A and B are shown apart, each in its own frame.
Chain A
Amino acid sequence: MTNTAQLQAVSVSRAFGGIKALDDVSLELRPGEVHGLIGPNGSGKTTLLNLLCGFYQPSSGVIHLGEQDLSQASVQMRAVNGIARTFQKPRLMPMLSVLDNCMLGAWIHADAGFMSTALALPHVGAQELDIQARAIELLHGVGLGHVMQRQASLLDHAEQRFLEIARGLAMQPRFMLLDEPAGGLTHQEIDHLADVVRTLRDNGIGVLLVEHHTDFVFRICDRVTTLNTGKMICHGTSEQVRNDPEVIRVYLGA
């Protein structure tokens, strides 16, 4: 299946009580493209991400994936449709190994039912091995091969971030939404992160990058959207956004 469908938010708004966290914002995420989303704290970046992956429903406006209207679809349905995400504060299963955490990402591809799993029918074991083999490759790929059997609670912060990415990739997603993936990472780790994100892009995955490290954003993003107080103030290539006077005024500083 060639991945040409776009993930679009079309003039979405979202209010919490009387506060408009997001006001008439549009964004389109294309396959094989890294899209940055920047803005001051409280500007609505994470709200937009949550609208895209279904943790919130828009108060108005629609979320499209290709021709499909996902506005009211549940988080699970969006995962099934190929939308993966990571969290600002990594959300892992602390008691399980790194490998098990990564394998969980393949849940939607494991069509083993409850009964056939309980009875350990042959295809369940075979599928398990497939999922495991792919998870091992992904973990080596993102650089966690050496801690595969380590309990996740013993990982340091950066390792947790990369594990979340590997788990998301185990979903074989079409779109990957990264919520401040560079937060708390060293310069070298950010470089590695950039390499990983480029590899995703080159494989046709559309990446949304919500981030405060603007250097990092401008370095790897094809396009950037800037929010301020829930409104979109600028949208364009990294070059355009970096030099936009309004963006400089409210966010980047002179």
Chain B
Amino acid sequence: MNSLTHTHKAWLLLGGLLIATLPGWAGDQYQLHLASLIAVYWILIAGLNMVVGFTGQLSIGHVGLLCIGSYAFAVLAGKSGWHPALALVASGVLGGVCGLALGLPSLRLPGFYFAMATMAFALIVNDLVLAQVDLTGGGIGLPGPLFPAPFDSPSGFYYLVSLLALGVTWLSWNLGRHMWGRALISIRDNPVAAQSVGVAVFRAKLTVFVFSGVTAGLAGAVFASLQSYITPDTFVFELSLFFFVCIIIGGRGSIIGPFIGTVVLTALPELVAPLAKLGNFFYGLLLLVVVLVVPEGIGRVFDIIRERLRPRVVHREPISPDLARLDRALKYKP
């Protein structure tokens, strides 16, 4: 669907170098923490992007899945003394199972009702966590265990989450550029057409939703470790909207767009640090500007500017079928 050109590869190489050397040039520990946070968010958002950006299912409840992953990790690696790597995998699996449990009843609902169901899920999870004092520590919360060496230092942890983020990005890129990508986008843009070519719409939606559950569970596990302490208040509903907005600002059906959205929106409060009180103001302003000026998302800003400066001329040529070629194509049986 989108094969890489040389320019793309050059940009990827540059980006990869920047990410790989970041602990070397980051100004202080806090910036490194921020970079790790971006990677953690992106693990979740990359998966959610397949649901929202590609399949067009408006889930605003992924903070619930993040929360489940976090507590699973804190309980298993902390209280139960599992190896953190094992607990990480278990968090991903649990995220997937909960994604299945949420998706099964809700993915048949049309747009807004599905969004409401996912929101209700997030609220319920938060209340359950608060109520299960024995397991989760209730309002007091739980410590988020560290990963063993070499991932216990800030830079070690940064590399761990970057690697995970890279892995999830690669998976979602593979999905997006093959038949699955087309099928998911057809569900978003025209479910009737999707059905007519044989896409099992509900099943495809459920599959990709479970995938996003797994990535949310994984993100939750490393999120707990990064935060070093989690309480139900860590998982406010606004966080869910934040994930959603990152994708919308980034642009639907793109991977790089939502990634830029995640970086910008996570770093935004820091970029405007002197005006910290206005952090939400800038957040709102950015959202408004994107929705009004570039609804295709910031991932396509350059395309759009290029188009404005040098409009593409669409040449109309009459349709003239090549019947011999059509005949050969129809006779060809693989």
* Interface residues in chain A, defined as those with a beta carbon under 8 Å from any beta carbon in chain B: 53, 55, 74-76, 79-80, 84-85, 87, 91-96, 100, 103-110, 112, 114, 117-120, 124, 128, 130-131, 134, 137-138, 140-147, 150, 154, 156, 158-159, 162, 167-169, 171-172, 188-189, 192, 195-196, 199-200, 202-203, 205
Chain A residue nearest in CB terms to B314: A154
Q: Is the CB of A167 within 8 A of B197?
A: yes
B292 on interface, CB distance cutoff 8 Å: no
CA distance A219 to B185 in the complex (A): 38
Question: What are the 8 closest A-B residue pairs judged by CB atoms, nearest first?
Answer: A141-B326, A79-B198, A137-B329, A143-B321, A91-B193, A108-B198, A143-B319, A110-B179
> Which has the most chain A C-beta neighbours within 10 Å: B1, B178, B198?
B198
CA distance A159 to B332 in the complex (A): 24
Chain B residue nearest in CB terms to A118: B171
Q: Is the interface of A mostly helix, strand, loop or mixed?
A: helix
Q: Is the CB of B326 within 8 A of A196?
A: yes
Number of chain B interface residues as a range: 35 or more
B195 on interface, CB distance cutoff 8 Å: yes
Closest chain A CB from B216 CB (angstroms): 16
Q: Is the CB of A142 within 8 A of B326?
A: yes
Chain B residue nearest in CB terms to A97: B1
Total residue contacts A-B, CB cutoff 8 A: 165
Over the window 16-36 of chain B, the binary record of Cβ atoms lying under 8 Å from chain A Cβ atoms (1 yes, 0 no) is: 000000000000000000000
Q: Which of A143, A169, A172, A200 contacts B322 (CB 8 A)?
A: A143
Q: Is the CB of A171 within 8 A of B319?
A: no
CA distance A169 to B325 in the complex (A): 13
Which residues of B (169-222) have their CB < 8 Å from a CB of A?
171-172, 174-175, 178-180, 182-183, 185-186, 189-190, 192-201, 207-208, 211
Over the window 65-89 of chain B, the binary record of Cβ atoms lying under 8 Å from chain A Cβ atoms (1 yes, 0 no) is: 0000000000000000000000000
Which residues of B (281-334) have their CB < 8 Å from a CB of A?
314, 316-323, 325-334
Over the window 249-261 of chain B, the binary record of Cβ atoms lying under 8 Å from chain A Cβ atoms (1 yes, 0 no) is: 0001100000000
Q: Is the CB of B175 within 8 A of A118?
A: yes
Closest chain A CB from B211 CB (angstroms): 7
Q: Is the CB of B321 within 8 A of A96?
A: no
Chain B residue nearest in CB terms to A102: B182
Q: Which residues on the A side are within 8 Å of B178 (C-beta)? A: 112, 117, 120, 124, 128
Q: Is the CB of B182 within 8 A of A100?
A: yes
Q: Which of A114, A150, A162 contacts B211 (CB 8 A)?
A: A114
User: Given A93-B186, A119-B174, A134-B332, A87 and B319 touching (CB < 8 A)?
Assistant: no
Chain A residue nearest in CB terms to B189: A93
Q: Which residues on the A side are within 8 Å of B195 (C-beta)? A: 55, 74-76, 79
Q: Which of B1, B185, B316, B322 contacts A156 (CB 8 A)?
A: B316
> Which has the most chain B C-beta neighbours within 10 Å: A107, A110, A146?
A107
Q: Which residues on the A side are within 8 Å of B172 (C-beta)? A: 118
Q: Is the CB of B180 within 8 A of A104?
A: no
Q: Is the CB of A87 within 8 A of B193?
A: yes
Closest chain B CB from A79 CB (angstroms): 3
Q: Which residues on the B side are within 8 Å of A128 (C-beta)? A: 178-179
Q: Which of B185, B198, B314, B328 contacts A96 (CB 8 A)?
A: B185
Q: Is the CB of B329 within 8 A of A138?
A: yes
> Which has the most chain A C-beta neighbours within 10 Å: B179, B180, B253, B320?
B179
Q: Is the CB of B332 within 8 A of A137?
A: yes
Q: Which residues on the A side are within 8 Å of B175 (C-beta)? A: 114, 117-118
Q: Which of A124, A144, A154 contacts B319 (CB 8 A)?
A: A144
Q: Is the CB of B200 within 8 A of A96?
A: no
Closest chain B CB from A111 CB (angstroms): 10
CA distance A85 to B331 in the complex (A): 20
User: Given A79-B198, A91-B192, A199-B330, A192 and B179 touching (CB < 8 A)?
Assistant: no
CA distance A230 to B171 in the complex (A): 51
Q: Is the CB of B199 within 8 A of A107?
A: yes
Closest chain A CB from B223 CB (angstroms): 22
Q: Is the CB of A76 within 8 A of B199?
A: yes
User: Given A104-B197, A171-B197, A137 and B323 touching (CB < 8 A)?
Assistant: no
Q: Is the CB of A114 within 8 A of B197?
A: no
User: Given A93-B193, A134-B332, A76 and B253 touching (CB < 8 A)?
Assistant: no
Q: Which residues on the A side are within 8 Å of B317 (C-beta)? A: 146-147
CA distance A141 to B328 in the complex (A): 9
Q: Is the CB of A118 within 8 A of B174?
A: yes
CA distance A110 to B180 in the complex (A): 9
CA distance A195 to B211 in the complex (A): 46
CA distance A65 to B314 in the complex (A): 44
Q: Which residues on the A side are within 8 Å of B182 (C-beta)? A: 93, 96, 100, 103-104, 107
